[in-house]
């Protein structure tokens, strides 16, 4: 089984990397971009028998800082 985890900052949490990207795009002439939120994608290859609940535990313990980040699990 494979799982893909999308981790993003929660709404309301400042995103300095996203702001830097937005600023750089504006400097390149892409004035239509008004906001950027940057995150990460983690692909996991899991052993047979692993469950979505196992992936949730991984996210809660290591893959996401749940104080400031949200995550979504996609089984692929």
Q: What is the rounded CA–CA span in Å between residue 64 and residue 76?
A: 19
DSSP 1-23: -EEEEEEEEPTTS--HHHHHHHH
When the candidates are 3.10.450.50, 1.10.150.170, 3.30.1280.10, 3.30.450.40, the CATH number that belongs to 2-75 is 3.30.1280.10
Residue ranges covered by each domain of the chain? 2-75
pLDDT digits (tens, 9 = 90+) for 40-58: 999 999 999 999 999 999 9
Query: What does the CA dihedral 74, 53, 14, 20 come to, rounded to 10 degrees?
Result: -40
Q: The whole model's pTM is what?
A: 0.89
Compute CA 17 distance to the chain's CA centroid, rounded to the nearest angstrom: 13
Q: What is the rounded CA–CA span in Å between residue 43 and residue 5?
A: 6
**pLDDT means per 10 residues in the chain (76 residues)?**
98 97 98 97 98 98 98 97
Q: Which pLDDT does position 17 carry in this prediction?
A: 97
Q: Which pLDDT does position 7 carry in this prediction?
A: 98
What's the mean pLDDT when you consider all of the chain? 97
């Amino acid at each position: 089984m494979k799982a893909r985890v999308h981790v993003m900052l929660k709404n309301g949490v400042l995103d300095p990397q996203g702001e830097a990207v937005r600023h750089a795009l504006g400097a390149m002439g892409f004035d239509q971009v008004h906001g950027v939120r940057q995150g990460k994608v983690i692909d996991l290859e899991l052993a047979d028998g692993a469950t979505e609940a196992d992936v949730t535990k991984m996210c809660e313990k290591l893959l996401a800082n749940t104080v400031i980040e949200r995550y979504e699990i996609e089984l692929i």
